[in-house]
Amino acid sequence: MEGLTNSAAETFELGSRIGEQLPPNTVIAFFGELGAGKTTFIKGLVAGAAQIDPGQIKSPTYTYLNIYQGKTTVYHFDLYRLYDVDEFLSMGFDEYFDVGGICCIEWSERITTALPSSCMRIFLEHQGGDKRKISVMRNK
């Protein structure tokens, strides 16, 4: 699936619609440069999946992981400051992949070798102004 959003609100809404449909144990790897809209999309996804107030959703940049409990538990990883995949594995973060929730992983290129083969991959690209190209790939 591929689409174009024209505002942060549309990016959030697309994330929310996708989040409402995700089954437990879904791992989503996000790819995109700084400012591509990953956090906005994930905020929508968390709001849709967990059915919580979007005001409660913050990026875990300094803590690596935020956990949101609601209708579905969502584990939101921000790996921007992570050194490498070994650091991720040494913290036991890979254990969250199959605990019944949804894992959203920003900067997932830092742990590609640890990602499950079945993970969903979402690519966000800045297209100028508030426009974003969003591509969703789902492995079976």
Q: Are 49 and 38 in contact (CB under 8 A)?
A: no
d(CA 18, CA 92): 27
Give the pLDDT confidence of 19-56 residue by residue, as tens digits: 999 999 999 999 999 888 899 999 999 999 999 988 88
Q: Is the pLDDT of residue 140 over 70?
A: no
Dump pLDDT digits (tens) for 74-117: 999 999 999 899 999 999 999 999 999 999 999 999 999 999 99
Domain count, the chain: 1
Q: Which residue has the higher pLDDT, 58 or 66?
A: 66
Range of the structural domain that residue 33 is part of:
2-138
CATH number of the domain that residue 120 is part of: 3.40.50.300
pLDDT for 60 equals 78
Tell me if 49 sits within 8 A of 76, measured CB to CB.
no
Let me know how long the chain is: 140
